[in-house]
Amino acid sequence: MRQTSNMRLFVVLVVMVFEQLMVLTSAQSRCDPLTQYDHAGQCCTRCPPGTKMSSQSSCSNPQCTECGPHEYQDQYTTESQCKVQPYCDPNKNMEDSQPASKKKLSTCSCLMGFHCSSGECVTCVPHTTCKPGQHAKSIGNHSRDTVCESCPEGSFSTSTSWNSVCAKWTECTSGYQVREKGTHVSDIVCEKTPRHQGGLIAAAVVFGSALFVFLLACFLCRAGDTKQRAKGCLESCRGDREKLPRAPSPMLFTQVDETESDPEPRLSQEDEDMKMPEENLEEEREELLSEGVLSENGQFVTQERGKDSIQPQQETQVQTSMD
């Protein structure tokens, strides 16, 4: 009897649990899981995002109010309180990354020129500053720091900044020349090209050429100086006592009428025959000196008959003219 009673009780319990499961399953299948909720087998409406539900709300027509300042609700809810937005502390170089919204969570970002000190971004630190002669290879943002490198050849930078850039050297235009070369921290300095620079170069070339010719002439003159002086001395001792012609001075030169001037006389055959080679003049002079015909200063002397003393030819001519 007891076994029969226990068996009946077990069957009743199983039936009751099954019926309850059927009721819950049927109720859940009728309600929208996003916008509704089940209350005593009845589908009730939730409050939309950005709002909260009043405690006096009914199942079919709830009383929903908007979230307050710095609050948000990002889904349909039956809660009577909104969630609190995070506080972006300006003392930590932070700010709201976007306008405040009551329907989604706002995030904080670092002020311009700063980046997060860690992955949690609880505070922001300044970007690295690039020194003069450098530029920002990679400009920093909210999550990463600035990376600096030296300016490439042909450019320069004078600023100290986290977003510094390099500027190209100035190119000197026509009529200008480089006075100072550019560096990584300074630009090229141009100046006007002097107009007389070309004239100075030409004058220097002309002066150098003239100096070379002058030195060459001096060298050749010194090489032939001894021979020229010996030639002039021997020609002065010739019997006709001809003097070497001298170049007329430009200050004493006077213009002569070519129609009235006589043509230059030509030497006779006898005078031509009297000329002797220059190499024989020195021998002739030594012979005349030994015979007493030629004085030591190069003058011819004559000896009168009946006189033992020899007088220079110049004195003899003077006496003859006086007689």
Domain ranges for the chain: 90-168
From the options 2.10.50.10, 2.40.128.50, 2.60.120.560, 2.40.50.140, give the CATH code of 90-168.
2.10.50.10
Element (H, E) at 155: strand 155-156
Of 21-30, 175-184, 242-251, 284-293, the least confident = 242-251
Predicted confidence (pLDDT) at residue 288 exceeds the cutoff of 70: no
**Of 36 and 296, which is predicted with more confidence?**
36
Q: pLDDT tens digit string along 1-11? A: 555 666 666 66
High-pLDDT (> 90) share of the chain, %: 36
Q: What is the DSSP letter of 114?
A: E
Q: Strand pairing partners for 66?
A: 51
Q: Which whole number is the average pLDDT over 71-82?
A: 93
Q: Which whole number is the average pLDDT over 163-175?
A: 93
Closest CA to 161 of 186, 134, 129: 129
Please work out, in degrees rounded to the nearest 5, the angle formed at the alpha carbon of residue 120 by the alpha carbons of 118 and 125: 40
